[in-house]
A and B are shown apart, each in its own frame.
Chain A
Amino acid sequence: GAGVSQSPSNKVTEKGKDVELRCDPISGHTALYWYRQSLGQGLEFLIYFQGNSAPDKSGLPSDRFSAERTGGSVSTLTIQRTQQEDSAVYLCASRLPSAGGPPDTQYFGPGTRLTVL
């Protein structure tokens, strides 16, 4: 079956413009994560969706960042009024529900490389 897909793979935008990044999780995976990875750095948690529960937005760095997940499947991360420091790779991951136990394997997409000029 298909893995996690993300689009676009690369996005170059001008400072001040809005961008939308898309994530298609693995079918049946109810949990979905967005991470940011700056060049040569680790994974910075942004937001977490689990089923119909309210998302955990605790990692969003500012109110310019938002995300939604429609129909429990596809997710879109939106960055408004982009700044140069937003340049990074944005990774999406999905996993099966953990049924109250410890989290299980997260499956990552290839990421979207965002460059803000």
Chain B
Amino acid sequence: GENVEQHPSTLSVQEGDSAVIKCTYSDSASNYFPWYKQELGKGPQLIIDIRSNVGEKKDQRIAVTLNKTAKHFSLHITETQPEDSAVYFCAASNYQLIWGAGTKLIIKP
């Protein structure tokens, strides 16, 4: 079945620096790749997603890139701010979402 691996499990960056989280998936039929952000005590919220007919998508300080050949996709956060501290989950799907294990992002002041 589909498997999604996410790295790193924890990422600590200085405020203002960039953060990159990477995911790989196994099912070449996957065609939808969302990223969710989970703040402490809350449910995950969609922050950006990309479909397989697009290689890159940006929304202000966040961007997602997709390499279908290599079956990996990445989340890029630029100019990190304290409020970016959270757990980030990637997922991949062609029917049901298969979730990565999550990355705890820590922004150091």
Contacts and interface: CB of A to CB of B under 8 A. Distances in A.
B100 A108 contact: no
Given A91-B43, A111-B43, A105 B97 contact: no
28 contacts: A41-B102, A42-B99, A42-B100, A42-B101, A43-B44, A43-B99, A45-B96, A45-B99, A48-B96, A56-B96, A91-B43, A91-B44, A102-B31, A102-B32, A102-B95, A103-B93, A103-B96, A105-B49, A106-B46, A106-B97, A107-B46, A108-B36, A108-B43, A108-B45, A109-B43, A110-B41, A110-B42, A110-B43
Contacts, number: 47
Interface residues of A, number: 19
B53 to A, nearest CB: 11
Interface residues of B, number: 23
Contacts of B44: 43, 91, 108
Interface of B: 31-32, 34, 36, 41-46, 49, 51, 89, 93-97, 99-102, 104
Q: Max chain B CB contacts within 10 Å: which of A42, A45, A106, A109?
A: A42
